[in-house]
Amino acid sequence: SMPMADPASSQAQMLGYVENAANADKVKYKNFVAGSHCANCGLYQGKATDKIGGCPLFPGKNVSGEGWCSAWVKVV
């Protein structure tokens, strides 16, 4: 299985990725949508109920379903 994305990595820092959306920097990221998190992001490669899943912005890594980053997009 894939390792977890490291929130301290440069990619995570650039995207504002956190493992829990509650900790997203909502001052810096004014586009934060209430209730948004990785498991309901259009880029999440897991099922909405999966605790972890892939994300194309973190190749070879899993992200936390409860996580968040500034590239979050609504599932269409």
Tell me which residues touch ligand SF4 (CB under 6 A): 17, 38, 41, 43-44, 55, 57, 63, 67-69, 71-72
Give the residue with the Cβ less far from ligand SF4, 17 or 27.
17
Q: How far is the CB of 46 from ligand SF4 (least distance, A)?
A: 9
Given a contact cutoff of 8 angstroms between Cβ atoms, the answer to whether 69 and 14 are in contact is: no
Least distance from ligand SF4 to the Cβ atom of residue 54, Å: 8
| Total residues found in the chain within this entry | 76
On whether the CB atoms of residues 39 and 18 are closer than 8 A, the answer is: no
CB of 43 to ligand SF4, least distance (A): 4
> Residue 41: helix, strand or coil by DSSP?
strand
